[in-house]
């Protein structure tokens, strides 16, 4: 095996004890390389970080890790409708996972609410964070800036949510997840076949898909993180689609304006989503440059 081949290794998933819960984690690349931890959004498992996206980052001499939040994928699950944790605990899970893996410092890459987790981790545990990459997200702490509200079709989705499917009906659940992705991604980079394969993978990997789809939205926020974006002193990259209807582009501009030294890179055609393959030629080099 060549040195470059070793960087492309996708290790098997494994369950790691993190306090009172088990989190499922998967790694790519060499243990000797700097660690990048990918953090998904609410109700989203590690599956939303594409295998090939992870391999491309690992090929740049990075140790890439992705994991299932509690209540998603193969990680510990609460009964549907009854989460027993707070949003703040999702932040502490990041630190607990790094501890369990023996990683002192990691570069954090968070999408949507995962970007909020990343910001809060940088404020509460700055010594554990090498850099921040914030994708399709919004300020996680108070800001004096006026942030634009969600626009159509996302605004209507939250105003009048679609009915839940029969969670025991695999085909109906896949349809439900695909329809949600269609709404959030928008017409720009939505690919029906890709989203159906992803939804099927999510359903088949998840302990309790009803809990995974709803519990994060129900949990209490927990202890408020103190501080402001101006106190984040780690290198920061803000990546944001110009068609994001959930967090319109003004959210990205606020992040870049308030975090000292942050670099804002617009992604043409991208909606509210993890980076699709069309923007990897921009996103991968930007992340590798930041974490080098």
Domain coordinates of the chain in residue numbers? Answer: 3-148+211-291
Q: How far is residue 30's CA from residue 72's CA, in Å, rounded to a whole number?
A: 26
Average pLDDT over residues 5-23: 87
The answer to whether 160 is a known catalytic residue is: no
Which one of 40, 44, 272, 274 is the catalytic residue? 272
pLDDT, residue 64, reads 98
pLDDT, residue 133, reads 98
Q: How confident is the model at residue 4 (pLDDT cuts 50, 70, 90)?
A: low
Q: How confident is the model at residue 226 (pLDDT cuts 50, 70, 90)?
A: confident
Residue 8 reports pLDDT greater than 80? no
Mean pLDDT computed over every residue of the chain: 96
Average pLDDT over residues 6-31: 91
Residue 224 reports pLDDT greater than 90? no
Give Cβ neighbours of residue 282 (< 8 Å, ≥ 6 apart). 265, 267
Residue 104 reports pLDDT greater than 90? yes
Q: Tell me the pLDDT tens digit for each residue of 213-223.
A: 999 999 999 99
Q: How confident is the model at residue 2 (pLDDT cuts 50, 70, 90)?
A: very low
Average pLDDT over residues 162-188: 97
Which one of 112, 138, 213, 274 is the catalytic residue? 112
Residue 47 reports pLDDT greater than 60? yes
Percent pLDDT > 90 in the chain is 94
Residue 6 reports pLDDT greater than 60? no
Q: How confident is the model at residue 1 (pLDDT cuts 50, 70, 90)?
A: very low
Which one of 44, 107, 244, 274 is the catalytic residue? 244
The answer to whether 272 is a known catalytic residue is: yes
Average pLDDT over residues 130-143: 97
Q: What is the CATH number of domain 3-148+211-291?
A: 3.40.50.1820
C-alpha count within 13 angstroms, C-beta hemisphere, residue 181: 25
The answer to whether 244 is a known catalytic residue is: yes
């Amino acid at each position: 095996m060549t040195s470059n081949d070793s960087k492309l290794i996708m290790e098997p998933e494994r369950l790691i004890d993190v306090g009172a819960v088990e989190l499922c984690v998967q790694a790519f690349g060499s243990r000797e390389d700097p660690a990048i931890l990918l953090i998904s959004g609410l109700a989203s498992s590690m599956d939303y970080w594409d295998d090939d996206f992870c391999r491309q980052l690992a090929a740049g001499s990075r140790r890439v890790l992705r994991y299932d939040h509690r209540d998603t994928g193969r990680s510990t699950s609460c009964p549907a409708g009854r989460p027993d944790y707070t949003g703040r605990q999702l932040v502490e899970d990041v630190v607990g996972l790094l501890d369990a893996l023996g990683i002192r410092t990691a570069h954090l890459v968070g999408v949507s609410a995962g970007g909020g987790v990343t910001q809060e981790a940088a404020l509460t545990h700055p010594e554990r964070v090498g850099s921040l990459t914030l994708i399709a997200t919004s300020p996680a702490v108070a800001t004096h800036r006026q942030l634009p509200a969600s626009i159509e079709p996302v605004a209507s989705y939250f105003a009048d949510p679609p009915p839940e499917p029969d969670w025991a009906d695999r085909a109906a659940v896949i349809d439900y997840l695909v329809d949600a992705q269609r709404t959030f991604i928008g017409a720009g980079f939505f690919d029906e076949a890709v989203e159906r394969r992803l939804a099927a993978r999510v359903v088949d990997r998840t302990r309790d898909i009803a809990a995974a789809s709803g519990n994060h939205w129900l949990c209490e926020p927990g202890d408020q993180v103190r501080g402001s974006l101006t106190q984040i002193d780690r290198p920061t990259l803000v990546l944001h689609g110009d068609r994001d209807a959930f967090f319109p582009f003004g959210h990205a501009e606020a992040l870049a304006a308030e975090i000292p030294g942050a670099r804002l890179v617009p992604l043409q055609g991208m909606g509210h989503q993890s980076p699709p393959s069309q923007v990897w030629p921009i996103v991968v080099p930007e992340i590798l440059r930041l974490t080098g």
